Structure 1
Amino acid sequence: MAMPVSVTKPIVGVDVAKNELVIYHAELDLLEAIVNDKAAIKKWLKALPGPVAIAIESTNIYHLEFADLAYEAGCEIYMVGGYELHHYREGVKVRAKTDALDAKLLARYLKNEAEELRPWAPPSPLYRQLLSLFRRRAALVQARVALVQSWANEPLLKTAFDDQIKAMQRLETLVEKTIKDQLKDAGLLGQLKRCMEVEGIGFLTGARLITAFQRGDFRNADAFIAFLGMDLRVSKSGQKDGRRSLSKRGDPEVRRLLHNAAMSARRTKAWKKFYEEKRSRGFSTTEALVMLARKLARIVFALLKGQSEYQPKAA
């Protein structure tokens, strides 16, 4: 991953919506709005006197085309998560939320926090394709489960409903096959097989971790864990040692899959002792599963980074 750098270019904040981009030029104290489409973005970039440093909130997929085109034009891009921007807004006591205010706030955030930020670079096409497939599968599963729960006590349409659920399950299977085909075309099935040797890691978890690994050149396992949102947020001040919790940055689906992997792994001979030792020390079931999930993610990272074969954990 890129190291933090000082921002030397003029700073611009960009608030993104599906149809519009609200842009604030900090040095000129100038606000403008353009249509969020390729032609308008290219025209705006061409009119710039030179490359700028852009702070942009990552929102769904609507920021991607702007970010890609601005990066190609030589601009420095800094992605700001909604979580960070929300708390920054509260910290600097901005009491209103409008597109214009958010564009200004993004520029202010970049100006004041630049040394702690890392410039963004576009992910590979493979990463984007796989991430899109996993997100669509997650949405499909969530919708199917919600339907099953809400229709559980409706007998009159049971046959038609069962057909609908089976159709959704077939679509899930097709998505999973497409994920496997993407990995095969990229020559990564060997990597997947290596990951699945780890107790508890199945096809989906292994494929999702491989997807995450494609995003950047992670310095070490800690950086990979942080990217997954599995790192701990510590709250400690004076004599008070507050509750630790996961940062939960990034895609929640990878954490859900790792949690399921840990639930499976805790029953295996390799990891049962690890899990029970954590429980015996007073950790809750959830805390022990998180520790095991993080352990599994670290092992998979080591296998992917070192291109090594998994050595089963001794009992």
Structure 2
Amino acid sequence: MTIQTPIIGIDVAKENLSLYRLDTQQSATLANDRRTIVTWLKTLPADCAVAIEATSTYHVLLADLAYQCGHRIYVIDGYRLSNYRKGIGGRAKTDQSDARLLARYLAHEQNQLHPWNPACKAYRRLQLLLRRRATLVRSATALRLSFAQDRQMARELKPVLERIKRLERRLNEQVHKALQDAGLAEQAKRCQAIEGIGPLTAAALNLAFLRGSFRNSDAFIAFLGLDVRVKESGRYSGRRKLSKQGDSEIRRLLHNAAMAASRTAAWQQRYQQYLQRGLKRTEALVILARKLARIAFALMKTQQPYRPAVDTVG
């Protein structure tokens, strides 16, 4: 295979970057800090194609700096890369083998991938705040459950939980301010008019809407990871599952919104119909969450207010 554009695979860790350049077949390891990355980028030819595995937030600095240098960046989902390794019969998993795998994946699949673009400032701010709040809520829940069986320790834990609650309220205020600063406060209010959707879910939906230019609601649902994977072969029909791509916190908030909507007059009958069809409670809530997301997408796309219908179409 003739390689015209230099292709580089980079496995990212908190402290180190493992690199593999396909055309020269060279491997290297660099420190994951700004000065080292900038120095290395200066040694590259123009217009390289760089595949980076998404790793928490550790890949963001590298992706930003490489993008500023004019290189094409492809951020590869770890789940997809893992399946690719299995598909080609890969056995070893080390940082260097992952870097080579990323370069190979990009060389073969580049035409099917979309180059990465940096998120706007408002998106990053909202994403950071929502993730911090999610971490806070998970920690508070874990503490509450852990100390529930010990009354004395639970009493001593109470002031800690109260402080966490105050911090949660403070984060909620910052989310609202971030929406105002980004000019999204009115759009968030439109989403909040939908039954079951509260301020945080509205903020999360606006966060997702900020990240891309979606052709239709199907593309928006796929971005949220609420699209369904079909597994069929001959007479075999496997169980359908959500792709769960994208931000898990947005899906969690939408699930909570669906639970709230299922108790409202607008959606309760529809929810009960799903259960009567034999769907499990979680399956019915997923369908409801998907419908709420589609309606929110339509409101954000058209900039129109929410007008509840007798028979709400998802």
> Under a length normalisation based on structure 2, what TM-score does the superposition of the two structures give?
0.96
| 2: CA distance, partners of 1:9 / 1:28 | 12
Q: Secondary structure at the match of 1:66?
A: helix
1:134 aligns with 2:134: no
Q: Which amino acid aligns with 1:110?
A: L
Tell me how far 1:313 sits from its aligned partner. Answer: 2.2
Does structure 1 residue 190 correspond to structure 2 residue 182? no
Secondary structure of 2:272's counterpart equals helix
CA distance in 1, matches of 2:237, 2:90: 30
| Cα displacement (A) at 1:44 | 0.9
The one-letter amino acid paired with 1:96 is: A
In structure 2, the partner of 1:18 is 14
Query: Aligned partners of 2:85 and 2:154: how far apart in 1?
Result: 49
**d(CA) in 2 for partners of 1:186, 1:42:** 30
Structure 2 residue 307 is matched with structure 1 residue 308: no
The whole-number CA distance in structure 2 between the counterparts of 1:71 and 1:158 is 50
Q: Structure 1: how far apart are the matches of 2:173 and 2:78?
A: 32
Post-superposition offset of 1:51: 2.1
Q: Which runs of 5+ in 1 are unaligned?
A: 1-6
Question: Which of 271, 274, 279 matches 1:275?
Answer: 271
CA distance in 1, matches of 2:301, 2:275: 31
Aligned counterpart, 1:109: 105
Structure 2 residue aligned with 1:4: none
**How far apart are the structure 1 equivalents of 2:153 and 2:46?**
63
Q: Any residues of structure 2 matched to 1:60-209 within 5 Å, and which?
A: 60-209=56-205
Distance 1:93 1:146 in 2: 40
Alignment match, 2:48: 52
Deviation at 1:155, TM superposition (A): 2.5
Alpha-carbon distance in structure 1 between the residues aligned to 2:144 and 2:190: 35
TM-score relative to the length of structure 1: 0.96
Mapped to 1, the partners of 2:67 and 2:94 lie a distance apart of 26
Contact kept, 8 Å, 2:12 with 2:53, in 1: the verdict is yes
2:100 partner amino acid: K
Structure 1 letter corresponding to 2:183: G
Query: Identity of counterpart residues, as a percentage?
Result: 50
Amino acid aligned to 1:238:
G
2:238 to 222, 238, 242: 242
Question: Offset of 1:210 from its aligned partner?
Answer: 0.6
> Do structure 1's residue 291 and structure 2's residue 287 form an aligned pair?
yes
SS in 1 for 2:42: helix
Partner of 2:222: 226
Aligned length: 309
Query: 3-state SS of the aligned residue for 1:134?
Result: helix
Matched residues in 1 for 2:281 and 2:260: separation?
A: 13
Structure 1 residue 71: Cα displacement: 0.5
Question: Counterpart of 1:134 in structure 2: which amino acid?
Answer: L
